[in-house]
Structure 1
């Protein structure tokens, strides 16, 4: 995506797809875990169900 991308011109489905793809990439800084895995390790089931 270009740095000067105007997010007012992009639909929500595109933003969600990019976010999902980025959150499933393992990161060296996270000990080769994905951001989603790290997030879920800090959240219990009760907190997670309240987010939905």
Structure 2
């Protein structure tokens, strides 16, 4: 979705899947900021939505 050259999209930009986004989170056609409830291992999490910086142990 983000082009010139092909690159990952920032939050708020259009996407078809998480692979299109810097955050690896695509919801309702737009890249979203990572959270501890997004179902994706990101932002340094030890597992999916667990470990630092999330409050949930893995």
Which bracket does the TM-score occupy, shorter chain normalised?
A: under 0.3
Higher strand share: 2
Give TM-score, length-normalised by structure 2.
Answer: 0.23
The normalised TM-score by structure 1 is 0.24
From the two aligned structures, give the one with the greater helix fraction.
1
Q: Could you say which structure has the greater relative contact order, defined with CA pairs below 8 angstroms and 6 or more residues apart?
A: 2
Task: Report the structure number with the largest CA radius of gyration.
Answer: 1
